[in-house]
């Protein structure tokens, strides 16, 4: 382990600007970031998501996801 803390920045998804969601991204529909989902799969404008807290899967339209975590090392 490197001993460096990870800072989490929320990035607003501005689709007209070209922001995209990809498999493996951590996303949220609401400001404040709860619940946080991991993107498992993408198809037809929808994302299969896994809730990071309880492990439950769900499908949501990409247009419903407004925030993405951008992790950086401090």
Q: What is the pTM of this model?
A: 0.80
The bridge status of strand 26-28 relative to strand 67-73 is: antiparallel
Architecture of domain 9-73: Roll (2.30)
Nearest to 37 by CA among 6, 64, 48: 48
3-state class (DSSP) for residue 15: helix
- Tens-digit pLDDT profile for residues 21-52: 999 999 999 877 789 999 999 999 999 999 99
Q: How confident is the model at residue 54 (pLDDT cuts 50, 70, 90)?
A: very high
Backbone torsions φ then ψ of 47, nearest 5 degrees: -125, 135
């Amino acid at each position: 382990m490197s001993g460096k803390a990870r800072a989490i920045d929320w990035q607003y998804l501005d689709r007209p600007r070209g922001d995209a969601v990809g498999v493996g991204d951590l996303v949220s529909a609401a400001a404040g970031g709860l619940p946080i989902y991991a993107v498992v799969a993408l198809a037809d404008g929808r994302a299969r998501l896994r809730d990071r807290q309880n492990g439950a899967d769900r499908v949501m339209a990409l247009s419903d996801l407004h925030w993405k975590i951008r992790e950086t090392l401090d």
